[in-house]
Structures are given as C-alpha cells and as structure tokens.
C-alpha cells in the first residue's frame, strides 16, 4: 500500500518455465495459486517471462530437447501463458498480464494471452534499439486499445 500511496502501480515478476531468468522458482504448475497470491497482495501488473522453458526457451542441460522453439514448442509456450492469463482473470481485480516471450510471433496471439506482449530481444545498445524499432514497425497493427506490443524500451 505504501507504493500505491505514492501513486505508483505495483508489479511482480514470474516466468512461464520452472524458474525465472535468474534461477528463482517461477509460476509453472502454480498459476492459480500465484494469481490468487498476486491478487491478495494488490498486484497491478505481472511480467511473465520466458526463460528456462523446457519446451520453447534457451538450451538447458537438464532438458535435452530444449533450445528449440518449433511449432509444437510455440503451442506449448502459448498454452502456458494462456493458463496464467485465465488464472489472473479469475481474480477479484484486474491484473495486467505482460507476456515476455521475446519473439515477433507473439504479436498475432498476444491479445489472447495478456495486455502486453514482448516481441524482441533485450535492448542493450543503439544497434538493438534500431533492430527493435524495425521489428515494432512491422507489428504496429497488433497494438491498440487494451493491448500493446512491447519493445523493451
């Protein structure tokens, strides 16, 4: 409440995989519990990242089939984000679901999964600003009221 008292929104971070990008436990398999917790805490926005997803993410030695995101992997990633979206929609209050999948293919399905969808890699320098701007230019038609393509800027 102290954060909100200053006029800020309150956000939390999780992941669609078993752990977050820094290796902490994430929401995979706990979507309903986590959504209820976020609701009780007064969370306004949930950033749901895509690191360490064994079906569609970076290579992990503990998941031999990881590191590939083919059509099957994309369907599984979409299903995981949709599971959290449905859990958040069952709460008592509106919570923004920010899907962070880093790929342009999220734009056409983004609105089904949340209110924001990340479609590019991390912006780290001016070259990546340019590359992300070019990607965003091609995906402009997917943004609109109550749904935004996220450029990580």
Distance of CA 107 to the CA centre of its chain: 12
CA atoms 14, 16, 22, 25: torsion sign: positive
What is the pairing mode between strands 148-150 and 116-118? Answer: parallel
Place of tokens 């064994």: 54
Helices 71-89 and 31-41 pack at an angle, to 10 degrees, of 40
Residue positions annotated with a catalytic role = 49, 122
Query: 3-class SS at 65?
Result: coil
């Amino acid at each position: 409440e102290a954060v909100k008292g200053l006029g800020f929104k309150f956000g939390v971070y999780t992941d669609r995989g078993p752990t977050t990008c820094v290796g902490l436990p994430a929401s995979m398999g706990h979507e309903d519990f986590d959504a209820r917790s976020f609701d009780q805490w007064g969370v306004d926005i949930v950033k749901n990242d895509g690191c360490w997803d064994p079906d569609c993410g970076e290579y992990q030695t503990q998941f031999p089939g990881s590191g590939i995101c083919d059509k099957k992997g994309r369907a599984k990633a979409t299903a995981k984000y949709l599971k959290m979206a449905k859990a958040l929609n069952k709460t008592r209050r509106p919570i923004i679901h920010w899907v962070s999948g880093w790929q342009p293919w999220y734009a056409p399905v983004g609105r089904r999964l949340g209110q924001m969808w990340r479609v590019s890699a991390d912006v780290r320098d001016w070259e990546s600003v340019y590359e992300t701007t070019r990607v965003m230019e091609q995906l402009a038609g997917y943004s609109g009221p109550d749904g935004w393509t996220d450029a990580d800027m």
